[in-house]
Amino acid sequence: MWGTSACGLSESFEVGPRRTSSESLCGSASRWARSSSASPASSSAVGSGREPLPGLPTRSSSVSSSGQAPRSWVWLPPPQEIPSSEGASTTLEALTAITGSYRRLDDCTASLELLPLAFGHLAHVSNVAQRSRSAAERRSLWAAASEAAGLAGGLAFDAGGHAQARSHYRTAITFAERAGNPLLQAFSLGMMSSFRAETAQGAKAVQLIERGRSLLPREVPPTIQARMATYEANAYSSVGDAPHALSALGRADTAGEQIQADGEMFWPLVFPFDAGRRARERGACATRLKESQIALTALEEGLEALGSGASKRRALVLSDLAESYVLIREIEEACRLLGEAFDVGVQLRSDRVLTRVRQVRRELAPWKDMHAVRELEERLVGGFLGNF
């Protein structure tokens, strides 16, 4: 079985009932047997409560390196407020390095394996922040705790725990507010917006990203400009607003080129915002907008940049490619790509990937009697039965 026990946080940091990831994945298994014409998966597990609106703007500086991700990722306070204690600085660096390491592991590791570690890490960082007696040190530690909460939210989302993911994203926003960091507040709202966009809540996604944009200072590091623009493109493409989505993608491309020119890296980008990354973002938005030719060109470029290893990012690109091939009625190729994405989803126990595969599979219903589609159905059912 794929179940696992998760280290729970104190009740002040977790809202709502816990839904275990094994239940989500077992539910996915039973859904494969349903009719292809079933309605899209419901996102009712995500509550409708309003997220807190962050405030307390202050400036933030970036962490730079020569084109590679830094050894640790942290949203720094103004220079005069950086903790002077060597012990405090070492603790902060160690905590943020752990968060960055988990983020790197996420793409090729089952979230079910990382979730207990991420929950324990979040509880530890927030406890350290609460115990700190220095105001400047405490702000830095709350920023680190916000990073850790965002990580936990992403892992819960991938494992299928949508209510838990929403809770952790809200915690990330709250901790960013305590840190007094507008960049981190905006980025946390962007993460929540992306989650909403992928769970069929496009209008809410747009609302969240617009709130995030309103918090950005006049001068923003190119990394944040690029990531916030892609969050915006995701939100608007999820509601079919092509002009706004394409405009946002253009700004992301411009900022991405500036990152490459400056050699600047700034958390949360543990993976470079390079040409391959920009192509994948463009392809994902084009897929949502049903612009198959644009999507195919961009996704093929983005897929090549990822290499051939099994990863969640690769599986999601394969799923988008499959959907675009369905749109141009190349059904055999769509089935081949979707089968490969499914294999990765099962291997990495990713509910997010398997949900995406299931969505595309429904679009194959008109061709259910084709040999390629029947073979894919057998592959999907057999893959689940072999893992339960």
User: pLDDT, tens digit, for every residue of 255-264?
Assistant: 988 886 665 5
Instruction: Report residue 169 CA to chain centroid gap.
Output: 11
Within 10 angstroms of residue 352's Cβ, the number of other Cβ atoms is: 23
Transcribe 112-137 into DSSP letters: HHHHHHHHHHHHHHHHHHHH---HHH
193: Cβ contacts below 8 Å, ≥ 6 apart: 204, 205, 206, 208, 209, 212, 231, 234, 235
Cα radius of gyration rounded to whole Å, the chain:
21
Interatomic CA distance for residues 317 and 125, integer angstroms: 33
Mean pLDDT per 10-residue run, the chain (388 residues)?
35 36 41 38 33 31 35 40 58 91 95 97 96 93 95 97 97 97 94 97 98 92 91 98 97 87 58 88 97 96 93 98 98 98 96 97 96 95 66
pTM: 0.79
pLDDT computed for residue 218 by the predictor? 86
- CATH number for 274-388 (one of 1.10.287, 3.40.50, 2.30.30, 1.25.40): it is 1.25.40
CATH of span 58-273: 1.25.40.10
Q: Pinpoint the residues of the chain covered by CATH 1.25.40.10.
A: 58-273
pLDDT computed for residue 258 by the predictor? 85
pLDDT computed for residue 86 by the predictor? 55
Six token digits for residue 57: 């703007």
